[in-house]
Every structure is written in C-alpha cells, then in structure tokens.
Amino acid sequence: MNDPTVTDPDHYRVLWENERVRVLEYRDTPGDATHPHDHPDSVMVTLSSFERVIASGGREMPVSLDAGEARWLPAQSHRGTNVGNTETHVIFVELKEPAAAGGTGDSPLGPSAS
C-alpha cells in the first residue's frame, strides 16, 4: 500500500489514529499534485471549496466540492492535481476494517455522494 503520508508528507498528516480508524488532514495549493497513493474506505470532509482532477489507471475524474461537504470515498489508488484557484483543505477518516463482502469489484474513482 502506498500510504499518502509517505508518498506526499508535505500534503498529508495524521491527526489521530487508533486500531479501527486513522484521521488525516490534507492541504495543498493551486497547481500542486500528489504522487500515486492508496486510500482505504474513508469518509472525506471538505473544509474548503476546491477543484481537482483525480487520476488512476488511464481514467481521470474532475472533482469540484464546496466547503462543508461529507462524502464517501471507496477504497482506491489514485493521484490528484489541484486545478482550481483555491487551496484544498480536507479531513479523511480512514476505516481500517476490511470492506463488507459482496462489493461490486469495480470501485469508482473519486468521492461519491452515497
């Protein structure tokens, strides 16, 4: 697993962790890009509005979110680029428990509203 706190320590930092969850803070500025990294199933809370492009495996997805949104982020590997005019400030609550059986096997890229 490519831990984002290792691949991009200038953007990600651990705020708190126990045996079941890890809470990360993410910050960047316009034009910043991350290296490929992995996220387990997570809840993402936006503290700022931002625009970015998430990419993985030849796919790209534009993401535009307002401050104060909470979104589900299914387990995935990706890299991201801040393509907007604002800084990004996000909190991730990563789940350490494995996903429930019966998943689709084709996980979406980026956050989802459900």
User: Which segments of the chain does DSSP mark as H helices, in order?
Assistant: 4-7
Domain boundaries 4-95, corresponding CATH code: 2.60.120.10
With a threshold of 0.85, does the pTM exceed it?
Answer: yes
The string of DSSP letters for 34-57 reads PPSEEE-SEEEEESS-EEEEEEET
What one-character DSSP code corresponds to residue 10? T
Residue 108 — pLDDT band, cuts 50, 70, 90? Answer: confident
For 50-54, 73-77, 83-87, 101-105, which range has the lowest pLDDT when averaged over its residues? 101-105
Domain layout of the chain by residue ranges: 4-95
Percent of the chain with pLDDT over 70: 90
